[in-house]
Amino acid sequence: MIQALIATLLWVLVASLLIFRCRRTDRSITHAALTIAVAMTLNVDAVYVAVDGLLGSTNYAMLLSDGLLIIGLFFLGRAAMKAGEYRPRLVRAAVGRPALFTALVGTTMAFFLIDRGGTTVTFMRDLGAQPWVAAYSIIVFTYCGIILGAMLTLAIRQFRIGQGADLVPALLLLIGSSSGIALSVAVITMDLAHVTGNLQFMRSVGASYGPLSLLAFLFLCAGFAVQPMVRNLQERARRARTGEMLQRLDSLWHQAVRARPGLSMAQSSTSQIIEDQESRLHREIVEIRDAMIDPRTAFEVTKAEETILEQAERHLLGSSGAGANGEHAVVAPRSPDERDRT
């Protein structure tokens, strides 16, 4: 039941990523989510039995599922690392190809040393007393723990520097990564207890497996699903703010163009419509600043107009307030040579 629920959560994540990230060229997270969704779907009993029957009924479906999970986690970790500039050496090593290669080779070698028998949907329970089964599971979940540890590091960093809505996906990923690490530790503990014959301890630890699995996948899926939603809402809000800034600057810009005619006067109405709003706002700010500092014109702005201009400049730089040193950020005007060419 839990495996079916987890698989459903992952397919919902894949659908949401396809909807909200359809225009992005980088599909790493989507591909990773799709790979992990297939891996977890293979763990659903009915699917596992059917697929393993096609592969010879000797539990090859287990190796296929875990191999896909490892590959999916690799791409997920890489995508999470590429999302920001914070890339510490340990994180890069954790999500590197050598770690992936080691995990895949290790699990494959251990798998073929297992006395597997026929298809079983309780693979670890039935065969976990074998040392090679314990080794197989430990390799898989050690790699999972390493990747989730790297993601936890990145999530903590994002939570510390994030603001507003950006804190929501960072917090969800932080909780999901922590739960996943706890799950990995629990499974490795169960493996060691099983292979050493401490079955009572294994069962007591095993009680946490279901809740930790659900928590890990629920919060990780929620975090990765919320990320593009938050970004989409932020982009919409920014576009609306850009339109508002253009309206507020419109009168001042027309005054600047009349005082110092330039390229803007030569542009057709069609090209102005096609031009990106932020590019247009940047151009208008530059032309207003050019008119203000051009000694050949008598163009001046009021204090209120200067405030609007500074707000527009801060908006373009992605800031709603003053710079770190308390001074207003400005969009630099062009050089005299560049101005003369207009």
Q: Are residues 205 and 314 both part of a single domain? A: no
- Asked, for residue 66, whether it belongs to a domain, the answer is yes
Residues 6+ away with beta carbon under 8 Å from 226: 168, 169, 172
Banded model confidence at residue 19, pLDDT cuts 50, 70, 90: confident
CB neighbours of 117 closer than 8 A, spacing ≥ 6? 58, 59, 126, 127
Residue 293 lies in a domain: yes
Q: Which two tokens stand for residue 185?
A: 């530790």
**Model confidence at 331, in pLDDT bands (50, 70, 90)?**
very low
205 C-beta neighbours (distance < 10 Å), count: 19
Residue 233 is predicted with a pLDDT of 83
Mean pLDDT value of segment 35-50: 94
In a domain, 334, yes or no: yes
208 and 279 in a single domain? The answer is no
One domain for residues 160 and 278: no
Count of domains for the chain = 2
Residue 206's pLDDT is what? Answer: 92
Q: In which band, very low, low, confident or very high, does the pLDDT at 327 lie, cut at 50, 70 and 90?
A: very low
Is 10 part of any domain?
Answer: yes
Backbone angles phi, psi at 33, to 5 degrees: -65, -40
Instruction: Tell whether the model's pLDDT for residue 170 goes beyond 70.
Output: yes
Q: Residue 18's pLDDT is what? A: 84
Predicted confidence at residue 69, as pLDDT, reads: 95
Distance CA 41, CA 10 (A): 9
Higher pLDDT, 121 or 340: 121
- Which domain-ending residue is among 181, 200, 235? 235
Average pLDDT of the chain, as a whole number: 83
Q: How far apart are CA 342 and CA 337, in angstroms?
A: 9
Kindly report, residue by residue over 210-219, the tens digit of the pLDDT: 999 999 999 9
Q: Are 7 and 151 contained in the same domain?
A: yes
63 and 104 in a single domain? The answer is: yes
Q: Which of 180-189, 208-217, 274-283 has the lowest mean pLDDT?
A: 274-283
| Domain of residue 154, residue span | 2-235
Q: Is position 20 within any domain? A: yes
Q: Please tell me whether residues 165 and 272 are part of one structural domain.
A: no
Q: Domain end: 220, 235, 250, which one?
A: 235
Mean pLDDT highest for which of 81-90, 175-184, 233-242? 175-184
pLDDT range class, residue 259, cuts 50, 70, 90: confident
- For residues 144 and 53, state if they share a domain: yes
Tell me, yes or no, whether 193 and 277 share the same domain: no
The residue from 200, 235, 270 where one domain ends is 235
220 and 281: one domain? no
Q: How high is the pLDDT of residue 320?
A: 43
Give tens-digit pLDDT for 277-324.
888 888 888 888 888 887 777 777 888 888 888 888 888 887 544 343
Beta-strand (E) ranges in 146-230?
none
Residue 238 contacts residue 204 (beta carbons within 8 Å): no
Q: Are residues 68 and 122 in the same domain?
A: yes
Does 129 map to a domain? yes
Burial class (CB in 10 A: 0-12, 13-18, 19+), 134: buried
> pLDDT tens digits for 131-164?
999 999 999 999 999 999 989 988 998 888 877 7
Give the angle subtended at the CA of 116 by the CAs of 114 and 118, to the nearest 5°. 170
Residue 198: half-sphere exposure toward Cβ, Cα within 13 Å? 11
What are 217-247's pLDDT values in tens digits?
999 998 888 887 888 887 888 888 888 888 8
Q: Is residue 252 part of a domain?
A: no
State whether 116 and 213 are in the same domain. yes
Of 278 and 26, the one with more pLDDT:
278
Does the pLDDT value for residue 262 go beyond 70? no
- Give the C-alpha separation, 309 to 335, whole Å: 19
Residue 91: which residues within 8 A CB-CB, separation 6 or more?
81, 150, 153, 154
> Cβ neighbours of residue 45 under 8 Å, at least 6 residues apart?
3, 121
Residue 69 has a CB neighbour count (10 Å cut-off) of 22
For residues 277 and 205, membership in a common domain is answered with: no
Span 159-185, mean pLDDT?
A: 90
In a domain, residue 248? The reply is no
